[in-house]
Amino acid sequence: MNTSSLYVDDFQESELTERLFITFYRASGLADVSWLIKMDVAAHAFLYDESAVVGIARTCIGKGNSPVFDGKAGAILEFALPPQPRLDRMSLVIQLRCCNFFLQDTILASGTVGKPVIDIADGQIHDFQLDPMGSLTISVRHEAPRLSQQLARGSSFDVSHLQQTIELESTRREASDISKVIPVLTPQT
């Protein structure tokens, strides 16, 4: 396996992508539908860039009409943002759903909690009122690409090694593409 290829692919994914993290803490005052079905509540987050969907994610499950998500695995959702994201044009819509394994999930409450997202992407805890009833406590944090964070901190980062690795990978890909086009000649005996 080509380790330079792994390095470049890993670098591009984790180091150059901006991310948005949403931490769910709790909801309260939701409609009580426990008489109908078990109250297993999950939050669904929809991230939009104007009207186009950027990402959809789902949290862990909380119990009852005042679920607590804080501290549970899956309470933090992560969205990989498109290149050069415009957080001033993005909005975040949250739906709290009662999970139902036999029928369609029941939407308990929903709301646009960040329009634009840039106004709430400060890492602070925010409370939002939802429709038709209930409230939600979350925090939203925007993270710049890790490479720019390293450079801003003055970390020792070997740019020449990265450049050599990228050039090596580019040359390897070009050679692979050429070998598909040019037939290989073999001597006849």
- Residue 156: how many CA atoms within 13 Å on its side-chain side? 0
The Cα 80–Cα 83 span in angstroms is 9
Q: What is the pLDDT of residues 47-104, one digit of tens each?
A: 999 888 988 888 888 888 899 988 788 899 999 998 888 999 999 999 999 887 677 8
Please state the length of the chain.
189
| 173's tokens | 């890909």
pTM of full prediction above 0.85: no
Sheet architecture: strand order including 52-63: 52-63, 40-49, 90-98, 106-114
